[in-house]
Amino acid sequence: MLKTLKDLFDSFTAPTGQQSPQQRDHALQLATAVLLVEVMRADADIRVEEKNAVFATLREKFTLADDELDRLMELAAETAKTAYDYHRFTSSLNDHFTHPQKIHIIENMWEVAYADAHLGAHENHLISKVAGLLYVTHGEYIAAKMRAREAAAPPI
């Protein structure tokens, strides 16, 4: 398992021109996972609802097996702890994701933020900052927030 984590981390840190398609995919998965984990970590206490939302989003987005998903989450949590900025994650996404895909990541971040039925100021600030780094307009950012809030609202 440690070799697999090292391989996944190495794929993220390899220069873009030297990455195989598989390494590029792993790097994009890690970048996305780190941003989602950062939303989860923005609260003082990490709730199981937020963790489940991160798992569900990654499972849907990347179609990973449970053991691969566990490894990705573990590496994303470790990477998030040592991250000093978000640029290295967002630049990878900017290079390889379409604009609608980047908007969808912002919406996924909002879904994680709303998962525990409490939106914190740090979550709001983090998602706003990442949206700017992904070149998501304010209108697109707000629309993604509204869609996520509606999805999180309990049915009447």
What is the total count of domains within the chain? 1
pLDDT at 18: 62
**Both tokens assigned to 18:** 């030297």
Is the pLDDT reported for residue 12 higher than 70? no
Range of the domain at 27: 2-152
Identify the weakest region by mean pLDDT among 13-17, 52-56, 61-65, 111-115: 13-17
Average pLDDT (49-57) is 90
If DSSP states are collapsed to H, E and C, what string results for the chain?
CHHHHHHHHHHHHCCHHHCCHHHHHHHHHHHHHHHHHHHHHCCCCCCHHHHHHHHHHHHHHHCCCHHHHHHHHHHHHHHHHHCCCCHHHHHHHHHHCCHHHHHHHHHHHHHHHHCCCCCCHHHHHHHHHHHHHCCCCHHHHHHHHHHHHHHHCCCC
Mean pLDDT rounded to a whole number for the chain: 86
Is the pLDDT reported for residue 77 higher than 70? yes
Is the pLDDT reported for residue 69 higher than 80? yes
The CATH number of the domain holding residue 118 is 1.10.3680.10
Average pLDDT (44-66) is 88
Is the pLDDT reported for residue 1 higher than 60? no
pLDDT at 21: 79
pTM given for the model: 0.82
Average pLDDT (97-110) is 95
Is the pLDDT reported for residue 128 higher than 80? yes
